[in-house]
């Protein structure tokens, strides 16, 4: 693997009709932001070979909105990504290292945010990058990492819908 994209689902409704967290769907803004982020990733040449996606409705809907811009990507719905800890996310990334050149992990906070912070800390990212990431991981945001042959991640960018004209700000 040479590139890792850690992404949080787009903006969702506060409560699902069923009352279950797993059933929360994207809002109109969330759908628009997800489409935007798919275009942003594709325009930057960040097209994954493999996408690991949480089974929650909001992550699957985010993936569906991204997919058109990203083209042919192998999709795996990964049950362990729902409410995953950063350690679980990192194990799934490690398990996929030899299977792909570019991996997209689409999941939830706080796991995605904390995993990104772990990778930044391990790679001795600059204080300004750490401060920016410590400020939060917006809905629809993606942290990009270059991965060396030893599997070490180095920060390569943080993309948010808001930075590209979208509405997600939390």
Question: Would 150 be classed as within a structural domain?
Answer: yes
Question: Would 169 be classed as within a structural domain?
Answer: no
Residues 5, 111: contact at Cβ < 8 Å? Answer: no
Mean per-residue pLDDT of the chain: 94
* 44-70 residue pLDDT tens: 999 999 999 999 999 999 999 999 999
Pairing of strands 142-147, 3-8: antiparallel
Q: What is the CATH number of the domain that holds 141?
A: 3.40.50.1240
The pLDDT score that the predictor gives to residue 167 is 78
φ, ψ (nearest 5 deg) of residue 142: -140, 130
Question: Would 170 be classed as within a structural domain?
Answer: no
Give the separation between CA 127 and CA 160, rounded to whole angstroms: 20
Residue span of the structural domain in which 69 resides: 3-164
Question: Would 29 be classed as within a structural domain?
Answer: yes
CB environment 96-126: b (16+ within 10 A), e (fewer): beeebebbbbbbbbebbbbbbbebbeeeebe
Give the separation between CA 99 and CA 139, rounded to whole angstroms: 27
Question: Would 145 be classed as within a structural domain?
Answer: yes
Residue 132's Cβ-count burial label (10 Å; 0-12, 13-18, 19+) is: middle
Helix H or strand E encompassing 33: helix 28-43
Chunked in runs of 10, what are the mean pLDDT values of the chain (170 residues)? 96 95 97 98 97 98 96 96 97 93 97 95 88 90 93 92 79
- Looking at the structure of the chain, the number of domains it has is 1
* 138-155 residue pLDDT tens: 999 999 999 998 888 999
CB atoms within 10 A of CB 127: 8
Helix H or strand E encompassing 153: strand 153-159
């Amino acid at each position: 693997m040479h590139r890792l994209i850690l992404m949080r689902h787009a903006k969702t409704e506060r409560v699902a009709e069923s009352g279950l967290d797993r059933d929360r769907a994207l809002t109109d803004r969330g759908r628009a932001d997800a489409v935007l982020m798919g275009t942003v990733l594709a325009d930057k040449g960040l097209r994954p070979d493999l996408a690991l996606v949480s089974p929650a409705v909001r992550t699957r809907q985010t993936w569906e909105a991204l997919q058109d811009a990203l083209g042919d990507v192998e999709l795996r719905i990964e049950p362990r990504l729902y409410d995953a800890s950063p350690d679980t996310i990192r194990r799934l990334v490690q398990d996929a290292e030899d299977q792909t050149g570019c991996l997209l992990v689409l999941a939830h906070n706080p796991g995605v945010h904390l995993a990104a912070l772990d990778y930044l800390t391990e790679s001795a990212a600059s204080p300004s990058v750490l401060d920016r990431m410590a400020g939060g991981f917006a809905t629809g945001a993606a942290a990009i990492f270059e991965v060396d042959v030893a599997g070490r991640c180095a920060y390569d960018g943080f993309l948010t819908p808001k930075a590209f004209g979208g509405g997600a700000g939390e």
